[in-house]
Structure 1
Amino acid sequence: MDLAAVRAKLESKTGKQYWRTLEELAGDPQFEELLHREFPRQAPSDWDNSVDRRDFLKLMAASLALAGLSGCGRTPEQYLVPYVKQPDGLTLGRPQFYATAMPFGADAIGLLVESHEGRPTKIEGNPDHPSSLGATNVFAQASVLNLYDPDRAQTVTKFGEIQTWSLFVESAQALAAGMKGDGGARFRILSGIVTSPTLAGQIQSLLTTFPKAKWHQWEPAVGDGTREGAKLVFGSYLNTVYRPEKADVILALDSDFLGSGPGHIPYAKKFSRRRKLNGPDDTMNRLYAVEPTPSVTGATADHRWPLRASEVELFARALAAKLGLGGSVTLAAGAEKWLDTVAKDLQKHKGVSLVVAGEQQPAEVHALAHAINAALGNVGTTLYYTEPVEARPVNHLESLAELCADIEAGKVETLLILGGNPVYTAPHDFDFAAKIAFDKTKQKKVKTTIHVSSHFDETSELCDWHVAESHYLETWGDARAFDGTVGVIQPLIAPLYHTHSLRAALAAFSDQPGVSDYDVVRANSEAMGQRLFPMSSPEPGSFERFWRKSLHDGVVAGSAFAPLKATLKFSPASLPTPKPAPANEMEFIFRPDPCVYDGRFANNGWLQELPKPVTKLTWDNAAMISPKTAENLKVAHNVAWRGGEHGKVYSNVIDIALSNSKVTAAAWIVPGQADDTVVLPLGYGRKRAGYTGTNKGFNAYAVRTSGALWAAFAPSSAIRKTGQEYPLACTQYHFNMEGRQILATGTLEEYLKNPNFANEHAELPPQELSLYNGEAEFPYHRDKWAMAIDLNKCNGCNACVVACQSENNIPVVGKEQVMRGREMHWIRIDRYYQKSVKSPTNDPSSYDESLFNPPTFFQPVPCQQCENAPCEQVCPVGATVHSAEGLNDMVYNRCVGTRYCSNNCPYKVRRFNFLRFQDWETPQLKLLRNPEVTVRSRGVMEKCTYCVQRINDARIESEKLNAPIHDGAIVTACEQACPTEAIVFGNANDQDSRVAKLKAQQRNYALLGELNTRPRTTYLAAVRNPNPELESA
């Protein structure tokens, strides 16, 4: 290289230039490589990057010379806004909101999506949609990250080679023409649950064209027990809709109806409204939970009984017998006492009680739940029945088994797989990979396989064709919610890549392969409108008004299913005697993971780094066992206590041998889990998920078979310690508050006797003589922003955590950094166990009550926005200051990274960018960011701001109108996402505001108030409503 020539070019540069080092200015590739190597994940302790003086001078000179090359090119012309005439209703810099819906299993979550100049950036719940009621869950919040996932499939491929869409259509048309001769006898379609009327209509139309073709369905995380239980009781498939707001007593039989499953968002909202306490005259509902492993619902319950999954049916049979429905079942002494109390409570509340069976329970448990609800007179009040939400309800296991049998018999030539990942999720004994892959002789059992999916995954790599599927924010569609309400799915952005919808892939096999999604969905909506609102002679423009209203509201008015009068054709006594569980054997149960679900979200960094509600694990799953089982197996995990870095936990690795297969997993001890039960969370161990999701955790599907889809049995010898340890990242060990008592809980009886119990034992701040009066110095004449968090409602679902991450451009840091205690979430949810009350056996020697069944509580902890903030007093550069409205503001460009503020914060809510956690290079991720929030860089401290950008937006609007900001005009991201309405934000100076009224309650208390920090965020103590008979046992 001619350094003199390069130096001359450098000297020709003019204008101001800023750089940190010469190497950075020059852009030397070796320097860039050094940057990438600066903090490798597993750098050895003796790693030496030193250079001698000669090498340094050579590198500096070369970098200086190369930097001049940047002035040799002409800056390309770019358009900031891709249109000449501004569209109507669009104001630059102002977001727009569009209603849509996210299909999810047998449900569709109604959403409002925030868009900035055509870029969807934030997901909110649609208050007009019954499946969200304005709230969301973690999957809906994180789905916007899936849209911008750089690992998404981007085009059509055949055997891994890029093809055009037109070539695929030509191939599909040729296949369709060849199938007409035999009526499609060798044509099969495999999909997940379909609730879309349009998609179902297309499939049915295709089956009409090819009458001998078959449609199969497989949904790995949804149990068949729900459908088969209804069929067993009523003779046909029916859908059950619950009304928890009308129930005084609820029993959950291994059901997490507040945390997962169809309708769980509105169920959580309606349930929590019955937990609201405004004064000593209020009442609460009561929740009992029977489950094998802790869940969101179980943690919220007033009484919870750990019971093996296989024993839940026995419990339900015994309950039915207690209620006079026939049969006789004897339970263990402890469970018998618990059962007697629950039965009495249910009988005492006939017509206002509710029994809910879990999705993973067998049909018999669901049938018993239906019979018990009918006997208690609950049908029509706390629940009702409708026709199925699924377009074609089937037994999914039988459907997939039939497809596999047809493939083995050579009856399938063309297989169209619509979504899903059956190679990864199908039962291990089905060996679905062998059904569609080339064998050793280069032969295939299925001549042509086509997979339509968002990612090129384990199934895609074995199929002939792969069609990149559009995200739901990129396409038109529709879907039914849990109660039958139809929501219209409308695109907010044109497809980022050459992707197509499931509807387009189906249309490729029809007589109209070029029909647009919009035309198909609109035509179906017009037909639906005619059925819902029949008119002999429709008025001109009537459908256009109906269509526009449906798009605007996000729901098709009047489309919810009407309640059906269902006749019970079942008696619990008619059930055959259940097979006894194998004696002295361990039970292994499979459950969808609360963060990655069945594996479809494995490549979503927000969800991978999201602490699981109960275990607080991130980036991995683990085989969960009870403390007693761990003691028997001599299994343990140990925290690697390092200075300020307590996130790494070394756990014993175990081999689990089930059904002629084996999986290796880390063990995790979970208080409150049933003994002799091992929980294997699904969704991890992916081999082709993308950069984020590949090779994370262990694959529980590897030991899941068709004969033991949700529970398997094996002797304890099936578990073998390998002698190795595996590091897990757990956030529960982070940000401890010096062991102080920070959680206030009580019973309803204690609250009624003493509503001020939360503050009774609080330490008063020291009263020192001082000339300084903080309140007088800052009178806050106008707005005084504050937050109240009701711990009686919070169920730890984590929706607020992901919503905050999405709203405030919070980065993902990775497992290694989480283990160092460096995760960046602005709000964390601490999980607390409480010393257990006496167990129903009244025999403390039988087990440790605090480990067997401890009451569980959750506490969200954002920045407390202290009036007397310790962080403000120690910052040497004034980077954290107090605003005129009482906010504890961060000035990012002043921060020099001393971290004094973090050290002085008693709440441990400040987050420091130790490294450059933000991705500045990937172009797709740039589209994701909220333009109203600064993207922080390395060396900068950050924390919760009360969504100050939303406060400023509301202030600007109020000044335009010359009116005060009314209560509810500002909704923080965490408050808006919360399904239980546990978080309330507002102006504490407005005595009529919700937050002011909550802070005036006697349950309200300040976290660590004895430190005299005077936090703006306060808490309402958690109150449980235990049954006195169980409390006194």
Structure 2
Amino acid sequence: MDSNKKYWKGLEELNRTPEFVEKNKHEFAEPIPIEEVLSGGGLSSKTPRRDFLKALGFGVGAVTLAACQKVPVHKSIPYLIKPEEVTPGVANYYTSTFEGNAILVKTREGRPIKIEGNPNDLLSKGGLSAQAQASVLELYDNTRVKEPMVNGSETGWTQLDALVRNNLASIKAGGKKIRIITSTVHSPSTLAVIADFIAAYPNTKHINYDAVSYTGIIQANQNSFGKAVIPHYDFGKADVIVSFGADFLGTWISGEEFSSQYVTNRNNKSLEGKKMSRHIQFETGMSMTGTNADVRMPIKPSEEGIALVNLYNAISGTTLPGSKKLTNASADKAIILAAKELVAAKGRALVVAGSNDVATQVLVNAINSLLGSYGTTIDLDNPSLQYKGNDAELVEFVNEAKRGEVDAVFFLDANPVYDYFNVKDIQAALKKVKLRVSFAHHLDETANTCNVVAPNHHYLEGWGDDNAVAGYYTIQQPTINPVYNTRQAEQSMLLWSNNPVKDYYTYVRNNWNTNLLAKGGLAGQAGWETVLQNGFIKAPAAPAGTYTFNLDLNAVAQTIINHSNQLASGNKVELQIYQTVAMRDGKKANNPWLQELPDPVSKVTWDNFAAMSPSDVKKLGLEEFEVVTIDANGYSISLPVLSQPGQAQGTVSVAVGYGRTHAGLVGNGVGKNAFPFHSFRNGTFQTSAPATVTATGDVFPLSQTQTHHSFEGRNVIRETTLKDYLKNPASNSGKEEEKETYDLWDEYERPAYNWVMAIDLNACTGCGACVVACNVENNIPVVGKEEVGRRREMHWIRIDRYYSYDDGKGNLDVTKEKDIDKLENFDNVSVVHQPMLCQHCDHAPCETVCPVLATVHSSEGLNQMAYNRCVGTRYCANNCPYKVRRFNWFNYWNDSRFDNYLSNEHTQLVLNPDVTTRFRGVMEKCTMCVQRIQAGKLKAKIEKRPLKDGDVQVACAQTCSAKAIIFGNANDPNSEVSKALKSERTYYVLEELNVKPGIGYQVKVRNTLSELQA
């Protein structure tokens, strides 16, 4: 191998801080007293575990009753007369939809227990996000609103309906305004219900708004081409991608869909065809998309518009006003090189920006028009319908309400009292509205200001549909009867508007029969049944047209420069607001699986923080996790500082989605609310502002997972460039090295199956969906912030994040202290993500040291655990070089002391009955979803056929939109995993130890710009 790169997991490992050195002297932290209290994760430092259980408990009775009355109706087991479609112990699957993605819902005896991607889904191709995987947990949340409420007290639906109808009739007669405020609705049937409601009450207006807004893109397309839409982007058709702050693999518009597209030009098949796209990212904070870029350049928010002006000038050969040098000289050079790359790839190029500023997005449109992107990588004729919010309309509603013009407002999947930029303004406005109705599942911040709460169903309890992209319609059907006395919001609106159709199922069915089935070439009962089986229909796409940009850009450029000057004014730092992959806009803040999912970049759980450049932290004399107060736009919060390599100097980044006060007992008080940092300018909400940062002297430790396990500098990451790969496909894979090995064990015979895995580092984006999927499938407990801080997280798969730096000259060694300061303040580090799980070694070190044979090797290549044999010596974990075994410090599932985040009663309902729950003193780790392997073999046996490749999918591989993980039988030479492991890029982590791991990794390839490595 010939690599100048050295890798490190975090600054504490790089700098060998005393805390890091001390922690890594011991495999395990010391046990803690049982009575010790939690201090984080949404709990007061004075809240004991036992008391939290009393407050949080999930009611088993209601859910069990609902499961026994499932739709179709199922009786309690044992069955007197068994329903035809139910076999006890065998799962049923139902098609449904989650935010426009077609999904499959796995149920056991009437209980939904797992969400899977529909393999035929046209957007993510069967992949699912962490949020979708975790959504099943929310069904069983006992803090949901259980009964309709009026003025804070529970009531009956009859009484509530009478109250609302009377008020609506009075308001209609008086001529006052009615407003329906929703997050973007892309359900055809819901939109039809709203239209019928407006017909009944003509003084009603429907306002779409999104907490994280895309109004800037919509308005820019209206200004540029007369189409007020978000385009449907295709990253799979782009040979060159340049992004300005758009986290398109994570939180921007449609991350799972874009990930699926993106990797098609970067995975095994693409590389074997000698082709790979080039991705250049300009951004402020290190995003998940930025970590995957071939070239990443940190720039300030104030420089984003300037960089786009410079890029337009370089492509067009003209000079717009305001062009000037950036503070990062490398970024200036990258702009010129990016322009050349884009022009060379005309028709196969794509430029995107995450800004919500209309002028910035207009300039992006002009650049894409020059590059011939419309009709190829950008489709305006089959647009995305996922975000249609209008920021100005929400602001106008607040003004109308303050003037006393609005007498009724309805909130559906909207929580503006939490996520509106001016909370005091909207609270004052709502006090003047006579009838305030919320359809919220929880008594969230907005529902708490409403005098009527008509609780909506969870999406797994109701009928519905989605239309996320033009022409693509997905169906939603109930998989369980309502757990509590809730009612579908659409049903309530039908009743209140005196609609002749009183039942929402009938309404949906009529809408599909009349308007939608024909689009998919279907009709009648047979067509409806086909939809329920397939989960979606696809109408023929409209031809994607080309569009010419004709606007005068001088005024646009001047607007951009003026905004840039405002952001860069004075000596203030520039604040950037962003979303995390797990928490997004905070609607799911009460989901503990998401709270405990490590952030892909920072690896922080259970908190947000102030991310700053390590050089800025040093200049300000701050220590890691020291609390600072951030002031901007008349609002301030105090957060701990995190030194983030790759953060642009002179900036601070803070995530939204935290700081909830009425999320539920898990999400309340976790982090601080950053939404009020937004401002309203030129018709849209802006996500950047000048800010001051002041040290408070306090310290607030963050629970990070990245450096809990150290490889002590051993070579576990292999990386190369496309240039070197094309010269030698085995570049840096280690295949050219001769290794002399010695075996102390006999080889295992595997006559039928040899279960192995391949992981493509070029496809893995680091999103963490596999972590949550594994949690759900394998009954992995949540332990809370305090225990994560003690290195006791229980995840069976983790995504390791490695930083690296290469000056291209081979004269920098970051393992030597004298070279650390040469890192240019960590601005230009690159990142590699590596999924790490039990490697199922043929020569497993854990097996040789277990005194009770609790961990043994199977005849199918799996390293197995017999939990009832394990006595908890932990020898196996000490002897594992990959540090992938987890020790149960407590009876997380069955002991009331640890029912903080998933209560004992609750877990009986969401648990996978095919997987044993583990208990205190037992080691556990990845089993390669052995229960799925057995189920696949049993199904093949029943059908009297051999097991085929693809019959068994492990949970992590199944949810991965990027298809970075491939699982299968190595004994089948035609299996996908066998083909993947034959790749010249394949290497095995710590292969020199001769433990013979069963997981092969493919070398990371970057399509770098060699001109920037100077």
Q: What interval of TM-score do these two structures reach, taking the shorter chain for normalisation?
A: 0.7 to 0.9
Structure 2 equivalent of residue 864 of structure 1 = 839
Give 1:174 shift. 1.1
Check whether the contact 1:326–1:572 (CA below 8 A) recurs between aligned residues.
no
Structure 1 equivalent of residue 695 of structure 2 = 721
Worse overlay, 383-392 or 869-878? 383-392
Aligned-pair RMSD on alpha carbons?
2.7
Check whether the contact 1:835–1:850 (CA below 8 A) recurs between aligned residues.
no
**Partner SS for 1:481:** strand
Match of 1:697 among 671, 675, 682: 671
The one-letter code of the counterpart of 1:386 is D
**Partner SS for 1:970:** coil
Match of 1:516 among 498, 503, 521: 503
Structure 1 equivalent of residue 871 of structure 2 = 896
Structure 1 equivalent of residue 538 of structure 2 = 557
Q: Percent identity?
A: 37
Give 1:403 shift. 1.0
Structure 2 equivalent of residue 101 of structure 1 = 97
Structure 2 equivalent of residue 774 of structure 1 = 746
Structure 2 equivalent of residue 747 of structure 1 = 721
Worse overlay, 798-807 or 560-569? 560-569
Check whether the contact 2:356–2:685 (CA below 8 A) recurs between aligned residues.
no
Worse overlay, 236-245 or 525-534? 525-534
| 2-structure distance, mates of 1:166, 1:36 | 52
Q: 1:519 to 1:334 in 2, by over 3 A?
A: same
Quick check: 1:474 aligned with 2:461? yes
Give 1:212 shift. 2.0
**Partner SS for 1:323:** helix
| 1-structure distance, mates of 2:260, 2:577 | 27
Q: 1:268 to 1:224 in 2, by over 3 A?
A: same
Structure 2 equivalent of residue 1003 of structure 1 = 985
| 1-structure distance, mates of 2:962, 2:454 | 39
The one-letter code of the counterpart of 1:801 is V
Structure 2 equivalent of residue 140 of structure 1 = 132
**Partner SS for 2:852:** coil
**Partner SS for 1:693:** coil
Normalized against structure 1, the TM-score is what? 0.86
Structure 2 equivalent of residue 814 of structure 1 = 784
Match of 2:890 among 883, 904, 915: 915
Give 1:792 shift. 1.0
Give 1:132 shift. 2.3
Structure 2 equivalent of residue 342 of structure 1 = 338
Give per-residue Cα distances to partners, 1:817-851, cap 9 Å, x unaligned.
00000000000000001114469xx9x99983360
The one-letter code of the counterpart of 1:512 is N
Residues 419-818 of structure 1: matches in 2 within 5 Å?
419-428=413-422, 431-436=425-430, 444-512=431-499, 515-529=502-516, 532=519, 542-558=523-539, 563-564=544-545, 566=547, 568-577=549-558, 578-579=561-562, 580=565, 581-637=568-624, 651-707=625-681, 709-714=685-690, 718-760=692-734, 767-768=741-742, 774-775=746-747, 778-818=748-788
Q: 1:763 to 1:817 in 2, by over 3 A?
A: farther
Give per-residue Cα distances to partners, 1:280-315, cap 9 Å, x unaligned.
652211111111111121111111111112321111
Quick check: 1:40 aligned with 2:32? no
Match of 1:194 among 185, 199, 216: 185
The one-letter code of the counterpart of 2:532 is L
| 1-structure distance, mates of 2:517, 2:331 | 55
Structure 2 equivalent of residue 968 of structure 1 = 950
Quick check: 1:385 aligned with 2:380? yes
Check whether the contact 1:154–1:498 (CA below 8 A) recurs between aligned residues.
yes
Quick check: 1:293 aligned with 2:254? no
| 1-structure distance, mates of 2:472, 2:537 | 7
Structure 2 equivalent of residue 245 of structure 1 = 236
The one-letter code of the counterpart of 2:497 is S
Give 1:564 shift. 4.9
Q: 1:939 to 1:446 in 2, by over 3 A?
A: same
Q: 1:982 to 1:387 in 2, by over 3 A?
A: closer
Structure 2 equivalent of residue 225 of structure 1 = 216
Structure 2 equivalent of residue 309 of structure 1 = 301
| 2-structure distance, mates of 1:296, 1:633 | 27
Worse overlay, 525-534 or 732-741? 525-534
Bigger CA radius of gyration = 1
Give per-residue Cα distances to partners, 1:246-279, cap 9 Å, x unaligned.
2211111211111123332122112112112357
Check whether the contact 1:792–1:1023 (CA below 8 A) recurs between aligned residues.
yes
| 1-structure distance, mates of 2:248, 2:387 | 23
Give 1:752 shift. 2.1
Normalized against structure 2, the TM-score is what? 0.87
| 1-structure distance, mates of 2:312, 2:724 | 33
Give 1:560 shift. 5.7
**Partner SS for 1:486:** strand
Give 1:159 shift. 2.1
**Partner SS for 1:341:** helix
Residues 107-118 of structure 1: matches in 2 within 5 Å?
108-118=100-110
The one-letter code of the counterpart of 2:504 is D
Check whether the contact 2:385–2:470 (CA below 8 A) recurs between aligned residues.
no
Q: 1:384 to 1:705 in 2, by over 3 A?
A: closer
Q: How many residues align?
A: 924
Check whether the contact 2:225–2:549 (CA below 8 A) recurs between aligned residues.
yes
Check whether the contact 2:730–2:736 (CA below 8 A) recurs between aligned residues.
no
Q: 1:966 to 1:606 in 2, by over 3 A?
A: same
Check whether the contact 1:590–1:710 (CA below 8 A) recurs between aligned residues.
no
Quick check: 1:403 aligned with 2:397? yes
Worse overlay, 231-240 or 468-477? 231-240
The one-letter code of the counterpart of 2:804 is Q
Check whether the contact 2:661–2:668 (CA below 8 A) recurs between aligned residues.
yes
| 2-structure distance, mates of 1:446, 1:254 | 39
Give 1:83 shift. 5.3
Structure 2 equivalent of residue 256 of structure 1 = 247
Check whether the contact 1:762–1:1010 (CA below 8 A) recurs between aligned residues.
no
| 1-structure distance, mates of 2:315, 2:382 | 28
Q: Which has the higher contact order (CA 8 A, sep 6+)?
A: 2
The one-letter code of the counterpart of 1:688 is H
Residues 113-124 of structure 1: matches in 2 within 5 Å?
113-124=105-116
Q: 1:416 to 1:281 in 2, by over 3 A?
A: closer
5+ residue gaps, structure 1: 1-34, 48-76, 437-443, 535-540, 638-650
| 2-structure distance, mates of 1:531, 1:127 | 23
Give 1:465 shift. 1.2
Structure 2 equivalent of residue 984 of structure 1 = 966
| 1-structure distance, mates of 2:1004, 2:140 | 39
| 2-structure distance, mates of 1:711, 1:282 | 40
Quick check: 1:877 aligned with 2:852? yes
Check whether the contact 2:614–2:825 (CA below 8 A) recurs between aligned residues.
no
Quick check: 1:81 aligned with 2:77? yes
**Partner SS for 1:288:** strand
Check whether the contact 1:371–1:571 (CA below 8 A) recurs between aligned residues.
no
Q: 1:658 to 1:357 in 2, by over 3 A?
A: closer
Quick check: 1:156 aligned with 2:153? no
Worse overlay, 599-608 or 83-92? 83-92
Worse overlay, 283-292 or 733-742? 733-742
Match of 1:169 among 161, 176, 179: 161
Q: 1:944 to 1:938 in 2, by over 3 A?
A: same
Give 1:979 shift. 1.0
Give 1:222 shift. 2.4
Match of 2:325 among 327, 331, 337: 331
The one-letter code of the counterpart of 2:782 is V
Q: 1:342 to 1:42 in 2, by over 3 A?
A: closer
Q: 1:454 to 1:379 in 2, by over 3 A?
A: same
Check whether the contact 1:765–1:1011 (CA below 8 A) recurs between aligned residues.
no
Check whether the contact 1:452–1:466 (CA below 8 A) recurs between aligned residues.
yes
Worse overlay, 249-258 or 921-930? 921-930
| 2-structure distance, mates of 1:158, 1:919 | 37
Check whether the contact 1:836–1:849 (CA below 8 A) recurs between aligned residues.
no
Match of 2:353 among 351, 357, 379: 357
Check whether the contact 2:385–2:468 (CA below 8 A) recurs between aligned residues.
no
Check whether the contact 1:243–1:267 (CA below 8 A) recurs between aligned residues.
yes
Check whether the contact 1:252–1:288 (CA below 8 A) recurs between aligned residues.
yes
